[in-house]
Structure 1
Amino acid sequence: MRKQEITIYDVAREAKVSMATVSRVVNGNTNVRKDTRERVMEVINRLHYQPNAVAQGLASKRTTTVGLIVPDLTDLYFAELSKGIDDIALIYKYNIIITTIENRLMKEDQAIQSLLNKQVDGAIYMSDRLSKEAADAFKRTDTPVVLAGTKDNRQEFASVTIDYQKADTEAYNLMYNDGKRNVALVIADANAVVNAENRLPAYKKFMADHDLGEGHVYDNIKDYSDGYNLYSQLVKDGIDAILVSHDIAAVGILNSAMDAGKKIPEEMEIVTNATQIASVVRPSLTAIKQPLYDIGAVAMRMLTKLMRDEEVADTHILLPYELLKKQSTANQ
């Protein structure tokens, strides 16, 4: 037989106080006398009372739950972001509901709406592609939303990320100073916010500033096989330096080049985004290192303030990045 659940009423009766007093003690309200608090806590511990989070949420109109929207949790980039979010959520006692938005039967806006229907107090969006459907879904709700690892140049949503244009330009200049002139950009989705509004403009400006022509942009290169198969086209186009948005695609290009006997970095230089993958392959990949854990942690801390209607000094935060020079470029 299931053991009878201990309720707030049972605690109040045993401690000889009102249910409101028990609630104040449970929620850490300081407006309770010390001896009363100690008596209530003694009863709570003796009866093994566990406050009902759902009931508390109904009473306060808060669920202490945060929605996390992520393309793919198997991607190390998003996994590291999630760790920072989870650690801060734990400190502030928020539970997390995760929903993925790639390879789903339902559309992205439907997946987001399904999450919001769970009455989460706030949401963090981690995809680099803030689609119009996703943006519209967020606009239709009063639920606070923070973008982590991506940005919205129209600044309609709070965000925590890096300066992609500055980081990419530094990477291009590194390869240019190594004598590379046929520089290309390899991206997963030209329509993604980070690419369309940051990476592509940075690439075009770099090419124009150095009078290098139109250049080459390779789109829809998302995974290892895409990168591996792209290599032959890079050779045909005479590419000698590339910036790759996804590290796993960069590894595909690297391995294909090595299989073909290409000398890296002498004949081709590669720069990508830094995760563990970029450092464990050989030759190791020069990479733009984003403070992924910190981005997640800062995004979650900002969200806690927004959910509590606290003042936020800056809702569009750019954190510092680092260009880690490894074996895939000459300047180490």
Structure 2
Amino acid sequence: MTVTIYDVAREAGVSMATVSRVVNNNPNVKPQTRKKVYEAIERLGYRPNAVARGLASKKTTTVGVVIPDIANAIFAEVARGIEDIANMYHYNIILCNADKRKDKEIRVINTLLEKQVDGLLFMGGAVTDEHVQAFRTSNVPIVLCATKDEKGDMPSVDIDHEAAAFDAVSRLVSEGHKRIAMISGTLQDPANGYARYQGYKRALEHAGIPYREDYVRIGNYKYESGIEATQYFLDLSDRPTAIFSATDEMAIGAIHCIQDAGLSVPEDVSVISVDNSRISSMVRPLLTSVAQPMYDIGAVSMRLLTKLMKKETVENAIVTLPHELIVRKSVSSPNDR
């Protein structure tokens, strides 16, 4: 039979209120009494009923996290930052993978809200009108993590993706490249797609380099799309001397495609990216990439959410964290400069 708080109280020889105070870490319990209660809990194998506690306090101490792709190491690092801060503030995490599908994201958001989570972190992906409508039905705080809404109305933690792309392409320009192609994410994605595409265009304009439509291909963030886009670039009569990829995974596809064609990186074609995930230091040559502080994005997002859930004062609910260009071995000056 299920062991109840009454059983623990009787075993320890104390009141149920005392057991409740011990379980909830109330400091107003004598050390010897606390010890007796813990011993009774251990002997009986008692586990507090989270549902009952939630009904009583109207809090579940649970946070829902919507992750776009659980297989992506970038999001795994964000999730680690979220969980570390959640543990620090005694919150549990329900992590839901949405497979980068809008219909699944909406369904998961509604499911988490139905489970009475105390707060919600929405990680990555475009924030559409459908998302905003689902968020409006919530009576708990929501923070956007590694993304932001178009109007900038919702609390969010992210980097400046346009500036990150600008810095990456500017590095290629400083090396003497003029024929610079881009493997972009979908332009419907405000961060990894559109913002990084805008940063690419702005860097070209800043350098006085004409924009060419045939130097831009839209990928789906996956390795295979990096290969496909790069093959297209290599088949051009005036192939680019450098490729800027919106993500590391597509960049590695680009590197392998270049090598498979009998060319060298960076001697024939330089490759640069944004993300600085672990795989950027596993490929050869090592990939030059703009680092996002992914762990910090997760940690700061969770800390912001805890403040909102506790109704603490928040001076700035839209947080932009710094990025950094990590220079490795995949970029050099073009041979035909």
Partner of 2:311: 309
Summarize the Cα distance change of 1:196–1:327 in structure 2 as closer, same or farther, 3 Å threshold. Answer: closer
**Cα offset for 1:177?**
0.8
Greater alpha carbon shift after TM alignment, 245-254 vs 303-312: 303-312
Which consecutive residues of structure 2, in runs of 5 or more, have no partner in the other structure?
A: none
Task: Select 1:129's aligned residue among 126, 139, 148.
Answer: 126
Counterpart secondary structure, 2:108: helix
Counterpart secondary structure, 1:10: helix
Summarize the Cα distance change of 1:195–1:217 in structure 2 as closer, same or farther, 3 Å threshold. Answer: farther
Q: How far apart, in 2, do the equivalents of 1:249 and 1:323 lie?
A: 18
**Cα offset for 1:33?**
5.0
Tell me if structure 1 keeps the 8 A contact 2:173–2:207: no
Q: How far apart, in 2, do the equivalents of 1:278 and 1:196 lie?
A: 19
Partner of 1:295: 297
Q: How far apart, in 2, do the equivalents of 1:103 and 1:317 lie?
A: 24
Amino acid at match of 2:221: K
Greater alpha carbon shift after TM alignment, 133-142 vs 63-72: 133-142
Q: How far apart, in 2, do the equivalents of 1:267 and 1:178 lie?
A: 13
Scaled by the length of structure 2, what TM-score is found?
Answer: 0.88
Query: Given the alignment of the two structures, is residue 27 of structure 1 paired with residue 40 of structure 2, yes or no?
Result: no
Q: How far apart, in 2, do the equivalents of 1:95 and 1:225 lie?
A: 36
Query: Given the alignment of the two structures, is residue 176 of structure 1 paired with residue 178 of structure 2, yes or no?
Result: no
Partner of 2:239: 238
Partner of 1:156: 153
Query: Given the alignment of the two structures, is residue 147 of structure 1 paired with residue 121 of structure 2, yes or no?
Result: no
Q: How far apart, in 2, do the equivalents of 1:207 and 1:87 lie?
A: 40
Scaled by the length of structure 1, what TM-score is found?
Answer: 0.89
**Cα offset for 1:46?**
4.3
Partner of 1:247: 248
Tell me if structure 1 keeps the 8 A contact 2:63–2:118: yes
Partner of 1:217: 216
Tell me if structure 2 keeps the 8 A contact 1:131–1:192: no
Aligned residue runs from structure 1 range 13-52, under 5 A: 13-33=10-30, 36-52=33-49
Summarize the Cα distance change of 1:317–1:133 in structure 2 as closer, same or farther, 3 Å threshold. Answer: same
Counterpart secondary structure, 1:311: coil
Q: How far apart, in 2, do the equivalents of 1:323 and 1:9 lie?
A: 59
Amino acid at match of 1:96: I
Q: How far apart, in 1, do the equivalents of 2:56 and 2:211 lie?
A: 60
**Cα offset for 1:32?**
4.0
Aligned residue runs from structure 1 range 62-211, under 5 A: 62-102=59-99, 106-195=103-192, 198-211=195-208
**Cα offset for 1:45?**
4.1
1:228-249 CA-to-partner distances (Å, cap 9, x unmatched) read 1212321316322222112111
Summarize the Cα distance change of 1:251–1:15 in structure 2 as closer, same or farther, 3 Å threshold. Answer: same
The number of residues matched between the two structures is: 328
Greater alpha carbon shift after TM alignment, 241-250 vs 310-319: 310-319
Q: How far apart, in 1, do the equivalents of 2:220 and 2:93 lie?
A: 31
**Cα offset for 1:275?**
0.9
CA RMSD of aligned residues (A): 2.3
Greater alpha carbon shift after TM alignment, 101-110 vs 310-319: 101-110
Tell me if structure 1 keeps the 8 A contact 2:181–2:244: yes
Partner of 1:324: 326
**Cα offset for 1:70?**
1.0
Tell me if structure 2 keeps the 8 A contact 1:186–1:221: no
Counterpart secondary structure, 2:319: strand
Task: Select 2:55's aligned residue among 54, 58, 62.
Answer: 58
Summarize the Cα distance change of 1:104–1:265 in structure 2 as closer, same or farther, 3 Å threshold. Answer: closer
Summarize the Cα distance change of 1:118–1:199 in structure 2 as closer, same or farther, 3 Å threshold. Answer: same
Greater alpha carbon shift after TM alignment, 119-128 vs 215-224: 215-224
**Cα offset for 1:104?**
6.3
Q: How far apart, in 1, do the equivalents of 2:302 and 2:13 lie?
A: 40
Counterpart secondary structure, 1:313: coil
Q: How far apart, in 1, do the equivalents of 2:258 and 2:117 lie?
A: 47
Partner of 1:276: 278
Tell me if structure 2 keeps the 8 A contact 1:163–1:318: yes
Which consecutive residues of structure 1, in runs of 5 or more, have no partner in the other structure?
A: none
Q: How far apart, in 1, do the equivalents of 2:33 and 2:228 lie?
A: 71
Summarize the Cα distance change of 1:129–1:292 in structure 2 as closer, same or farther, 3 Å threshold. Answer: same
